[in-house]
């Protein structure tokens, strides 16, 4: 660990990069749906279609995601902040009362998400205190709407840029 970098200051600096918010889901070995909120989701490639997201190595859900050959990424809409909070919590059953449906391979797809990507795990690799999941997009869908954003450790709203004079 580089002790010359203050982790708290670094976290604040990282927070200056606005991100979208997504819920990544998969199925446990008993076929129960599991999921968690992330803001580390990113597109990687169009050909082949690849996405990337990160999970802390100390996450209680890490063994489930490592065992599953598939996952889904549900990009949240502005009106889904409560859903983001729910999947960021330590609730035992984060899916209780949540609208979802199984995708083509059974992965949980959340209702009303702005975009939903069904993926096969291509590669998992270590990156510091996280594991990074690289997935090949097999199916996707999207709708119009405003995204749920995260900036400076809190939710933020999309505001159109001012028109140039």
pLDDT given at position 149: 94
Is the pLDDT confidence value at 22 over 60?
A: yes
Q: What is the pTM of this model?
A: 0.91
Alpha-carbon distance 164 to 32, whole Å?
Answer: 51
- Say whether domain 7-153 belongs to CATH 2.30.110.10: yes
pLDDT mean over 131-150:
97
The domain limits of the chain are 7-153
pLDDT given at position 13: 86
Is 118 within 8 Å of 70 (Cβ atoms)? yes
- Express each pLDDT in 1-13 by its tens digit: 556 888 889 888 8
- Express each pLDDT in 79-124 by its tens digit: 999 999 999 998 889 999 999 999 999 999 999 999 999 999 999 9
Give the H or E element holding residue 102.
Answer: strand 100-102
Q: How confident is the model at residue 162 (pLDDT cuts 50, 70, 90)?
A: low
**In the numeric block, which tokens belong to residue 111?**
């209702």
């Amino acid at each position: 660990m580089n002790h010359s970098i203050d982790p708290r200051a670094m976290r604040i600096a990282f927070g200056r990069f606005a991100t979208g918010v997504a819920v990544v889901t998969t199925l446990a070995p008993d076929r129960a749906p599991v999921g968690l909120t992330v803001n580390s989701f990113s597109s990687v490639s169009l050909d082949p279609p690849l996405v990337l997201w990160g999970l802390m190595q100390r996450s209680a859900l890490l063994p489930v995601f490592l065992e599953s050959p598939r996952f889904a990424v549900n990009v949240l809409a502005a009106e889904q902040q409560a859903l983001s909070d729910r999947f960021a919590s330590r609730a035992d059953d984060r899916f209780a009362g949540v609208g979802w449906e199984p995708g083509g391979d059974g992965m949980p797809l959340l209702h009303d998400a702005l975009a939903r990507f069904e993926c096969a795990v291509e590669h998992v690799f270590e990156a510091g205190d996280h594991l990074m999941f690289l997935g090949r997009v097999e199916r996707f869908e999207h709708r119009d709407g405003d995204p749920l954003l995260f900036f400076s450790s809190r939710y933020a709203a999309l505001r159109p840029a001012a028109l140039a004079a």
